[in-house]
Chain A
Amino acid sequence: MLTQHKQLAQLQTRCQTPEEDMQSFRNFPAPSSSSGGVLWRMAHIVEENKLTLTHLAELEMIHAMENPNQGMWYTFQLLEPENDAQSVELTQFKQQFKCHLSELLRQMSVKIKKHTDEAVWIRIALGSSFSKPNHLKPTYVVHYLQTPYVFVRNLTSKLKPLLSQALTLATRHQGVKEANLSGRNLTSIRDLLMRQYQQVFPTKYRSPPEEEDQPVLNQHIEKEQGGVAAHRRHMAHQAFGDGMLPQLQSAVYMLDTKFRDPNNRTMTEREETFKCVVKFSSIDLLESLRSCASSGIASAPVTPLLSSIPLKGRNYFVVTDNTPGPSSQGHQTQN
């Protein structure tokens, strides 16, 4: 597929009109491999129906909106809303956003669509002074109006400051910062941030016994361990939630705390902190962590470092020794 992408990119830079685009694409010899054949046939269909690159871009955007759980999404949070931030609605947002962004960039293609779930999808293809917009690597931005969250995929360093500015102005906020949450599933990170998943709230009293019929393998083990196991499961569900959890792939902790070990005097007396990076990864991170807590691999109660993931909706943390708190671990997470 790479060679076809290259061909398409070459087309874009060389050709003038959309019709010429498609014509010269058709002039390439039909490739032998099956994927090349599909693209070639597609170009044939496109040409016959007089479709242009803009139509293709639109098709791609529809595809992206229907399949949001691809690529890597990064979250941003809008800060300090103005007084009228809550009343920003779609037409105003669209107009303001396009207006601000086109002030800053010449060669660019921006499409804004509203999805059925009230999300606003923005597709930005950037060009430069020398080339037309690169439709092969568009940036996607998803924003839910009246919330401070923005999700971005495939953001380039060139576009980042301009996008931040356009977004803050269009949504009537004063700034935007990284929200330290990333993942492949847009729906999952959105659910996590907006708390749209089944949560178990901490209760003083034990919840009613679970309906699941776990076969009791050994009566003696059940008698001894049953209560403890149920308690662990309850704590695990309290920390991470019930039922299906949003799918995250990883969580990164930058630890910069002092080494404290009663057995090791040298390190405990050391002035400098012990710097390390811990990365948890899994195909379904929250599910793995919940299972660790249930099975006892992670001691109950679950440490705030891990339960912060669903609680604060983030998966990137910088941990330092802040003010010595009442907790026995003596550290806090930093925003």
Chain B
Amino acid sequence: MRTPHNGAVVQRRSKTRSYRQSYRSCLGTASRLGLTPALTARRLNASRRAAKPQNDKVNPEHLALLVKAEWQLSYVTPLYQFRHTQLRSYSRQLAAFIVAEKQQGLAVEVSELHNSYRVSLSVVQGLTESEDDAETVLIQIHSKPMFARQDEPQRSVWSGWLTCVHGSPEYLRSLPKDFTCLPLFGSRGPEYLSRVVKSWFQKTFDCCFGSLEINHTSLQWFAALWTDCHSQSHIQHLRMLWTIPAAPPLQITYTVDHQDAWDLWNSVRKGPTAAVAEDAASIDLEEVTGFLQALKSHFYRHFRLDLSAGTLQQVSTAVGSAKSSGRIKMSNSRHVIATLTLLTECALLKMPI
């Protein structure tokens, strides 16, 4: 269990630079010259490694927790003085905080009456990609209803996690000592508990939460990455949901057969196909947009309706599903890391600092 210790590296840098680099400035040199970062700097990576099934270094129980539900995503600014070694104490503090909020009448849900909460924060070992990533933290809130019997076990009423998978090394190393970067937050459960957990984190670690929508480009990436997974995990279908701004709004669900999606994806790939070159293959943004363009043109041939006029709202396969409202479901444990990598990048980009 470690909190990334930036000590030596940061010390050297602080001699030459007195300000902390913002994430955006790490992406392009042009931004360092002006006050506002250049528009080109604020983009997702134009190329990324093809998803490869991760090694079995993550506890299968933890993985099972991650894959069974749909998570609501937020971005989080770096946490100040967060120690992975203090999780027990944090659990107690958070539990007490929840009870205090309830007594103040702030965290109350009329239909549910709980009197005691047990919070557990734990580390999910191995859910990282690079040395600079902080270890993922899993938060679970257990409780039992007010009038339950004594021997009834407490059940999980809320869960969440904070993670950083393959975050930009430049940015992570530029953070001052004492700051831990876990930019991606996923939660599942009643809204009032999410609010309480976020406000406790904000108070304790001086950080900021914000809603993370999954934008159009990221959804296209998911479509491509998950279709690419087909050689390892059967995707069953590629389903996309578009909304067209007609009066009244029109919703189009476009579901492609798995084999046809896979063949189309391979035909769009430049260079050696994924079947040939194992994990060295990287996917370019051009290939992704080419893939989506091919799907749209097939649609246009039949319906003479250009899907670009609308918005892509949702992409789903048997491997996972992503909604533009910021909800993600990772259905296959082998591809969790790839999904979290893309989401970490989105979160880092969305952060205001």
For B244, what are the chain A residues with a Cβ–Cβ distance below 8 Å? 288, 292, 297
Taking each of B263, B298, B299, which has the highest tally of chain A beta carbons within 10 Å of its own beta carbon? B298
Taking CB atoms and an 8 Å cut-off, the chain A residues in 245-273 that contact chain B are 253, 255, 257, 259-261, 263-264, 266-267, 270, 272
Q: Would A297 and B298 count as touching, CB distance under 8 A?
A: no
B149 at the interface (CB under 8 A from A): no
Binds B, one of A25-33, A139-147, A298-306: A298-306
Q: Would B248 and A297 count as touching, CB distance under 8 A?
A: no
Taking CB atoms and an 8 Å cut-off, the chain B residues in 249-273 that contact chain A are 249-257, 259-260, 263-264, 266-268
For B254, what are the chain A residues with a Cβ–Cβ distance below 8 Å? 276-278
Known: A264-B267, A319-B302, A329-B301. A276 touches B246 (CB 8 A): no
For B268, what are the chain A residues with a Cβ–Cβ distance below 8 Å? 264
Q: Would B303 and A298 count as touching, CB distance under 8 A?
A: yes
Q: Would B253 and A272 count as touching, CB distance under 8 A?
A: no
> Residue A278 contacts which of B253, B260, B309, B310 (CB distance < 8 angstroms)?
B253
By secondary structure, the B interface counts as: mixed
Known: A264-B267, A298-B303, A298-B305. A284 touches B294 (CB 8 A): no
Residue of B nearest to A328 (CB): B301
CB distance from A325 to the nearest CB of B (A): 14
Complex CA gap A302/B268 in Å reads: 30
A283 at the interface (CB under 8 A from B): yes
Known: A280-B252, A305-B302. A291 touches B267 (CB 8 A): no
Taking CB atoms and an 8 Å cut-off, the chain B residues in 301-351 that contact chain A are 301-306, 309-310
Q: Would A277 and B250 count as touching, CB distance under 8 A?
A: no
Complex CA gap A102/B340 in Å reads: 62
Complex CA gap A255/B302 in Å reads: 9
Q: Would B294 and A278 count as touching, CB distance under 8 A?
A: no
A279 at the interface (CB under 8 A from B): yes
A331 at the interface (CB under 8 A from B): yes
Taking each of A255, A303, A319, which has the highest tally of chain B beta carbons within 10 Å of its own beta carbon? A255
Q: Would B256 and A276 count as touching, CB distance under 8 A?
A: yes
Q: Would A306 and B303 count as touching, CB distance under 8 A?
A: yes
Q: Would B304 and A287 count as touching, CB distance under 8 A?
A: no
For A270, what are the chain B residues with a Cβ–Cβ distance below 8 Å? 263
Number of interface residues of B (CB under 8 A): 33
Complex CA gap A302/B304 in Å reads: 7
CB distance from A247 to the nearest CB of B (A): 10
Complex CA gap A288/B309 in Å reads: 14
Q: Would B246 and A267 count as touching, CB distance under 8 A?
A: no
B33 at the interface (CB under 8 A from A): no
Residue of A nearest to B309 (CB): A297
B247 at the interface (CB under 8 A from A): yes
Complex CA gap A264/B260 in Å reads: 14
The digit string for A224-264, where 1 denotes a CB below 8 A from any CB of B, is 00000000000000000000000000000101010111011
Complex CA gap A292/B303 in Å reads: 11
Q: Would A282 and B260 count as touching, CB distance under 8 A?
A: no
CB distance from A227 to the nearest CB of B (A): 20
Known: A264-B267, A277-B255. A292 touches B302 (CB 8 A): no
For A283, what are the chain B residues with a Cβ–Cβ distance below 8 Å? 248
A275 at the interface (CB under 8 A from B): yes
Known: A291-B246, A319-B302. A264 touches B251 (CB 8 A): no
Q: Would A297 and B251 count as touching, CB distance under 8 A?
A: no
Known: A274-B264, A291-B246. A297 touches B305 (CB 8 A): yes
Binding site for A on B (CB under 8 A): 244-257, 259-260, 263-264, 266-268, 294, 297-299, 301-306, 309-310
Q: What would 13 more interface pairs be, CB under 8 Å, given A264-B264, A275-B257, A303-B303?
A: A266-B263, A270-B263, A272-B263, A276-B256, A280-B251, A281-B252, A288-B246, A288-B247, A292-B246, A292-B250, A297-B305, A299-B305, A299-B306
